[in-house]
Each structure stands twice: as C-alpha cells, then as structure tokens.
Amino acid sequence: MSFSSQANSSAAPYSWVLFDADETLFYFDAFEGLKLMFSGFGVSFTQVDFEEYQRVNKPLWVAYQDGKISAAELQTIRFEPWAAKLTVTPQTLNSAFLSAMAEICAPLPGARELLAALQGKAKMGIITNGFTELQTVRLERTGLQHHFDILVISEKVGVAKPDVGIFEHALELMGHPAREQVLMVGDNPHSDIQGGINAGFHTCWYNVHGHAAPEGITPHYQVSSHRELQQMLGL
C-alpha cells in the first residue's frame, strides 16, 4: 500500500520507528569520500577510478548482505588493489575512508525536522549495515545521537540486513514490543524493507527516486521525502 492510500487514516500507533542510516538519514557520497581520502595519499582519485572501485565493492556488499563474507573481509578486499599500489595496508585505507566519510557527512533534507517531531512520541533506533568506525562519530558530529534509543550495527551483531537475526537483536534491545508497533524505514527495498517484513515489522520505503518496487517486495508505505513521512505519521 502506498502513502496516498493511507493518507486519511492513522499511520498506526508505532511505539518504535527504526531507520536505516546511509541514504535514509544521511548523505553517503562515496566518491567524494574516496576523493578526500586519497588526496591524503597524494592521489587524484577520478570518476574512472571510482567506477573500477565499484566493480569490486558492489559485489562484496551483496556477498556481505547474503552472509557469504564478513565485514572485515569486505573492508579489506575492496582496498587491496589500491593498498598494493600505495604500499600501505588495506586496513589503513579503510580507516582513512571511514574518517573521510565522517568528515563530509550531513543529514538528508528534512531528517533533523523529522527526528525532532518524532521525539517523545515514539522511541527511535538505527539498524545499519554500515561500519562501526563511522556510526558513532557521525551521530556525534551531526548532533543527532540523542534522538536514538538503540544503535544496531551489523558488524557488531555478526549478521547484516536483510537477515532476520539483526532485526531480532533489535527487538530484544527494544524490550520486545509488539512487532506491528515497529516501523522500519529505509531506502533499500531488499535489505530494509524485505528484512523488516520478514521480521514482522511494518515498513516504509524511503523511495526518493520513484523506483518501482522489486517483484515480490511490498512495503506497507512509500514516501519520497522526510516531510512526507512526517505527514504520514501525523506529526
């Protein structure tokens, strides 16, 4: 069901709203982060370099979400070619990249207003497949950490979205509220929406670009902005 079909009814009395982090609450411009990171190593990182990086990186993320590789393996393998060129370790490059991403991070338009409006009306949490080294720093730098009662990071839990295990872990941290009182909001239909559905949560697809839902994935709601989500929640 879409937002429009729910416009005249309550969006349900959610006691918890869980958010994905990257591209749901925060900008995640990997190209800009990599350019900044590599500038510290004297490298002018180009769009062609980025495309080559993504040919390695994207399949690794799929493998990570499918539980086929670990977070440490992903973070190491994606930087191995560059580490060899620069005679540093992949871990050095990965840490520098996450530091650069924290430096350029910013909330998406309307995110601050949404979180402020939701404060005190529902508890909030983050479930992210992003890495531990970035999450706390980013929340502190943006001043948003006080909004969230739980921060669930796949690297710490040992399983990634859409694995139901990470949602069950979140449910335990939340004190086992009724599943239908939990709303999962995210931009990725496979990890956020299907994962939330599999856990028995209600789901809201943050679909900024108006993509068609993948076959077999039906979010409870769709919104194209944080303002629209705020309206949907009656805030």
Same domain assignment for residues 185 and 199: yes
Residue 123's pLDDT is 96
Residue 133's pLDDT is 85
Residue 4's pLDDT is 34
Same domain assignment for residues 87 and 196: no
Any idea what the CATH number is for the domain that residue 124 is in?
A: 3.40.50.1000
Residue 165's pLDDT is 97
Q: Which domain holds residue 35?
A: 30-104
Residue where a domain terminates, one of 82, 104, 126: 104
Average pLDDT, the chain: 92
The count of structural domains within the chain is 2
Q: Mean pLDDT, to the nearest integer, of 115-127?
A: 96
Q: What is the pLDDT of residues 172-193, one digit of tens each?
A: 999 999 999 999 999 999 999 9
Q: What is the pLDDT of residues 54-68, one digit of tens each?
A: 999 999 999 999 999
Residues marked as catalytic: 20
Same domain assignment for residues 116 and 202: yes
Same domain assignment for residues 89 and 178: no
Is 17:181 a contact under the CB 8 Å cutoff? no
pLDDT band at 39 (very low <50, low <70, confident <90, very high): very high
Q: Which strand (E) or helix (H) includes residue 133?
A: helix 132-142
Any idea what the CATH number is for the domain that residue 77 is in?
A: 1.10.150.240
Ordered DSSP codes for 59-118: HHHHHHHTTSS-HHHHHHHTTHHHHHHHTS-HHHHHHHHHHHHHHH--BPTTHHHHHHHH
Q: Mean pLDDT, to the nearest integer, of 115-142?
A: 92
Q: What is the pLDDT of residues 78-100, one digit of tens each?
A: 999 999 999 999 999 999 999 99
